[in-house]
Structure 1
Amino acid sequence: MTAHEAFSSCSFKSKLWNYDVFLSFSDEDTRKGFTGYLHDAIEDRGYMAYMDQDDLKIGEEIKEELYRGIEESKISIIVFSKKYADSSWCLDELVKIMECRSKLGRHVLPIFYHVDPSHVRKQNGDLAKAFQNYEENICEEKDDKKREAKQAKVNQWREALTEAANLAGHHLQITDNR
């Protein structure tokens, strides 16, 4: 399904979702640039886009609000960038997005923004350092149960990244020729 088909098929409101699109992105490297512009473009075309700064309810638990936003969105757009995997919040969102894809049939559109899709798929290249840090943190954990829980979490993240990177998406890179 192309992005145009996905947007066209969600132009009507349903009780199943309150948002047309959920945007998952690294705050540090895309909020004030690409993702901010994408959010504005989506809303300018009359679609409801969930973006954490605008749609979090004051006084509510952040993670639960994000998960509700994912569940209540017909499409999730994941903007994979160089710093996406540095954020455990982004990775937890990704696991939830892929779970909703599997269990609820939600559409997922990955955008690879200045990052190679194979690096996302294999957690190497631009994502290698983040996962090296996660693995070191696991090794430093003295408590067996906590170490096992951390390893299980990292395995979930790896699986979700691989699954998402195997989806057809858009690879955006600025080159000297563009």
Structure 2
Amino acid sequence: MAVSSFSSVSDDVRRWKYDVFVSFRGEDTGGGFVSHLLRAFKQKSISTSVDAEDMCRGDRLSEELRKHIQQSRLSIVVFSQNYASSRRCLRELAQMVEQVKMTGQVLVPVFYGVEPYVVRRATGPFAEAFARYDCEMEEEEVCTWRKALTAAASYFGWYIENYRDDAELIEEIVQCVFNKLIRWSSFDGGWKYDVFLNFRGEDTRKSFCSHLYKALYQKVINTFMDDEELRKGNSLSELLKCIKQSRVSIVVFSADYASSTWCLKELVQILKCMDEHNQMVVPVFYEVDPSQVCRPEAFTKHDRDSKVEMEEVQSWMLALTRATNLTLPRWDSRNYDDDAKLIEDIVQHISRELPRFTRLQMGHV
């Protein structure tokens, strides 16, 4: 992957191999709640690591498991009735809390079938487990576990009793994690925006594009949509810079798209970023047949413009021809009964693909 000044990443960023590490007591939640949670993460393209049996022998933390915790951006601990009865769970928890102190890793607790205060104060089944450890284990390690338990249970998290069912809780956890990862990855990769919106203002600014922008905003997808005042100058430098600082470009083709030199110059830059920096491009055909976007009469006007060089016009034609024939998921408004469903599908696609494209752009497999 070609790396430029705006897409280079630090050693800290390259350290992350997983988005989320999940610690849980398998006997309590492994076959139910956690399995559904992991499936929901996978559907959102959020990479997860868990304590697999082949990574550990007995109660000790293997070096491999320790690295999985260290290489995760965020940790989730699912506290349940018998969580503390597992020494390995407590060792995982101590490592997770250590990562919070050492690297600022985010740790989020989920209280499933157990009151938060029971965990925080180590009462009930937690007190019983620690009573055994006080007799069987080294005092220093038990003290570390107690502190880790108190610290982790004090962080803001989720309590199952506040939700109608597991599905509602899982949906909120996954969306919250997704939003955090989006914000972090934009910062880490040097991206200022998640999405750059390219469109012909006179055709769609006050209708389709304004609704699309609002829908992206509601999903916490940071989108650049140029202000009309920005187009009152002669320079496109600011807009072209914003394209470079975006991970995704949505190109909204409309009937008069090709008549705008601004749109065409932006399109050339968008395709360049796609080729050189793996930028994701999403073509949308709004009330226009794809074959009619590259209208000859629009380019006749550009050919006659003395301010435009012939080579530049040719580059626009090539870019437009290529963009309208991209073999990517693309949308055509003529296939929908209304704009709302089209916008919903576009936003869902971008939400689903952003994490995957982030890892690709940052050089992760």
**Could you tell me which amino acid in structure 2 is paired with residue 164 of structure 1?**
A
Q: Give how far 1:34 is off.
A: 0.3
Equivalent residue for 2:332, pick from 171, 174, 177: 171
In 1, the alpha carbon distance for the partners of 2:280 and 2:227 equals 22
Question: In the superposition, relative to structure 1, how do residues 158 and 96 fare at CA in structure 2: closer, same or farther (>3 Å)?
Answer: same
Matched, 1:128 2:289: no
CA deviations over 1:132-154 (Å, ceiling 9, x no partner): 2123x06xx5xxxx7xx621011
Equivalent residue for 2:252, pick from 79, 96, 102: 79
Q: Could you state the TM-score of these two structures normalised by the residue count of structure 1? A: 0.77
**Could you tell me which amino acid in structure 2 is paired with residue 172 of structure 1?**
S
Q: Give how far 1:119 is off.
A: 2.3
In 2, the alpha carbon distance for the partners of 1:156 and 1:77 equals 20
In 2, the alpha carbon distance for the partners of 1:61 and 1:159 equals 23
In 1, the alpha carbon distance for the partners of 2:248 and 2:229 equals 16
Indicate if the aligned counterparts of 1:114 and 1:174 stay in contact, CA closer than 8 A. Answer: no
In 1, the alpha carbon distance for the partners of 2:193 and 2:234 equals 19
Q: How does 1:39-58 map to 2 (within 5 A)?
A: 39-53=213-227
CA deviations over 1:130-175 (Å, ceiling 9, x no partner): 112123x06xx5xxxx7xx621011100111111111231111278
Q: How does 1:28-177 map to 2 (within 5 A)?
A: 28-53=202-227, 62-120=235-293, 123=294, 127-135=295-303, 137=304, 150-167=309-326, 168=328, 169-173=330-334
Q: What are structure 2's unaligned runs of at least 5 residues?
A: 1-43, 46-177, 339-365
In 1, the alpha carbon distance for the partners of 2:314 and 2:277 equals 22
Larger Rg computed on CA atoms: 2
Q: Count residues in correspondence.
A: 155
Equivalent residue for 2:193, pick from 1, 16, 19: 19
Question: In the superposition, relative to structure 1, how do residues 129 and 174 fare at CA in structure 2: closer, same or farther (>3 Å)?
Answer: farther
Indicate if the aligned counterparts of 1:22 and 1:77 stay in contact, CA closer than 8 A. Answer: yes
Q: What are structure 1's unaligned runs of at least 5 residues?
A: none
Partner of 2:124: none
SS at match of 1:132: helix
Indicate if the aligned counterparts of 2:255 and 2:292 stay in contact, CA closer than 8 A. Answer: no
Q: Give how far 1:97 is off.
A: 0.5
CA deviations over 1:39-90 (Å, ceiling 9, x no partner): 110011101000111896xxx9851110111000000000000111111011
Indicate if the aligned counterparts of 2:200 and 2:257 stay in contact, CA closer than 8 A. Answer: yes
Structure 1 residue ranges, 4+ long, deviating more than 6 angstroms after superposition? none
In 1, the alpha carbon distance for the partners of 2:289 and 2:224 equals 26
In 1, the alpha carbon distance for the partners of 2:241 and 2:272 equals 13
Q: Give how far 1:128 is off.
A: 2.7
CA RMSD of aligned residues (A): 2.8
Q: Which of structures 1 and 2 has the larger relative contact order (alpha carbons within 8 angstroms, sep 6+)?
A: 1
